[in-house]
Chain A
Amino acid sequence: MRILRAIFSHGSGRIGGVIVGVYLLIAILGMLGLTPHNPITQYRVDRLHAPNGAYWMGTDLFGRDVASRLMAGIGQSFTVAFFSVAFATLAGTVLGLAAAWLGRRWDGVVMRIMDVLLAFPAILLALLIVTVAGPGTWTSIVAIGIVYTPIFTRVVRGPALSLKAREFVDAARTFGSSSSYIVTRHLLLNLVAPLTVQVTLALAWSLLTEAGLSFLGLGTQPPAASLGLMLSDSRNLMETAPWLMIFPGLAIMISILGFNLLGDALRDILDPKMRRAPA
Chain B
Amino acid sequence: MIPLLSVSDLRVGFGRNPQANEVVRGVSFDLADGETLAIVGESGSGKSVTALSINRLIDFGGGRITGGAMKLKRADGSLFDLMTATEPQLTGIRGAEIGMIFQEPMTSLNPVLTIGSQIEESFRLHRGLTGGQATAAAKDALDRVRIPDAARRLKYTPNQLSGGMLQRVMIAIALACNPRLLIADEPTTALDVTVQAQIMALLAELKRETGMSMIFITHDIGLVAGIADKVMVMQNGQAVEQGELNQILDSPQHPYTQHLLHAVPHFTNGGTTRSDGRRDKGAGTEPALKVDGLVVRFPLKSSFFSRATGAVHAVDGVDFDLMPGETLAIVGESGSGKSTTARAVLGLVRSTRGSFTVGARKASAQQSALPVQMVFQNPYASLNPRLSIESILAEPVIATGGRVDAGTRVRMASLLERVGLPKNSLERYPHEFSGGQRQRLCIARALMLNPSVVVLDEAVSALDVSVQAKVLELLVDLQREFGLAYLFISHDMAVVERIAHRIAVIYAGQIVEIGDATSVLSKPKHSYTKKLIAAVPTVDRRHEHFELDTRQVPSLVRPRGFEPAPARWERFGSDHMARAEA
Contact = CB atoms under 8 A, between A and B. Distances in A.
A binds B: yes
Interface of A: 166-168, 170-178, 181, 185-186, 189-190, 192, 277-278
21 contacts: A166-B381, A166-B382, A167-B378, A167-B381, A168-B381, A168-B382, A170-B376, A171-B376, A173-B346, A173-B368, A174-B368, A174-B372, A174-B373, A175-B373, A175-B396, A175-B449, A176-B368, A176-B370, A177-B395, A181-B398, A277-B14
Question: Does more than half of chain A's interface fall in helix, strand or loop, or is it mixed?
Answer: helix
Contacts of B354: none
B148 interface: no
Interface in B372-420: 372-374, 376-378, 381-387, 391, 395-396, 398-400
Contacts of A192: 386
B387 A189 contact: yes
B313 interface: no
B197 interface: no
Contacts of A168: 381-384
A192 B386 CA distance: 10
A185 B384 contact: yes
A181 B376 contact: no
A173 B348 contact: yes
A177 B387 CA distance: 15
Interface residues of B, number: 32
A261 B374 CA distance: 45
A171 B62 contact: no
B373 A278 contact: no
A174 B378 contact: no
Residue in A167, A172, A176, A277 with the greatest tally of chain B CB atoms within 10 Å: A167
A174 B395 contact: no
B166 interface: no
A207 B391 CA distance: 39
B442 interface: yes
B211 interface: no
A178 B400 CA distance: 9
5 pairs of A and B residues whose beta carbons are closest in the complex: A277-B62, A167-B382, A177-B399, A175-B396, A175-B399
A80 B62 CA distance: 45
B381 A174 contact: no
A186 B346 contact: no
Contacts of B15: 277-278
A7 B80 CA distance: 48
Given A166-B381, A185-B384, A277-B15, A172 B399 contact: yes
A214 B424 CA distance: 57
A178 B368 CA distance: 13
B525 interface: no
B346 A278 contact: no
A176 B381 contact: no
Contact of A278 (B16, B377, B383, B387): B16
Contact of B395 (A166, A175, A277): A175
A176 B397 CA distance: 10
Nearest to B392: A168
A190 B396 CA distance: 19
B168 interface: no
Given A167-B376, A181-B398, A278-B16, A174 B348 contact: yes
Contacts of B391: 185
Q: B370, B373, B391, B395: which has the most chain A beta carbons within 10 Å?
A: B395
A186 B387 CA distance: 8
B435 interface: no
Contact of A177 (B62, B372, B373, B398): B398
Contacts of A172: 395, 399
A190 B386 CA distance: 6
Given A166-B381, A177-B398, A185-B387, 6 more contacts: A167-B381, A174-B372, A175-B370, A175-B396, A176-B399, A185-B395
A171 B375 CA distance: 8
Given A171-B376, A171-B445, A181 B399 contact: yes
B67 interface: no
A145 B368 CA distance: 41
Contacts of A189: 384, 386-387
A174 B346 contact: yes
Contact of B384 (A174, A178, A186, A277): A186
Contacts of A277: 14-15, 62
Interface in B336-376: 343, 346-348, 368, 370, 372-374, 376
B442 A171 contact: yes
B383 A174 contact: no
Interface string B127-157: 0000000000000000000000000000000
Nearest to A187: B384
B370 A171 contact: no
Contact of B400 (A167, A170, A173, A176): A176
A224 to B, nearest CB: 43
A177 B376 CA distance: 17
B325 to A, nearest CB: 21
B347 to A, nearest CB: 7
B385 to A, nearest CB: 7
A186 B384 CA distance: 6
A137 B463 CA distance: 59
A37 to B, nearest CB: 49
Contacts of B376: 167, 170-171
B400 A175 contact: yes
Contacts of B382: 166-168, 170-171
Contacts of A185: 384, 387, 391, 395
Nearest to A163: B384
Nearest to A278: B16
B398 to A, nearest CB: 7
A192 B398 CA distance: 23
Contacts of B377: 167
B275 to A, nearest CB: 31
A170 B16 contact: no
A268 to B, nearest CB: 16
Contact of A174 (B14, B374, B386, B387): B374
A173 B347 contact: yes
Contacts of A178: 399
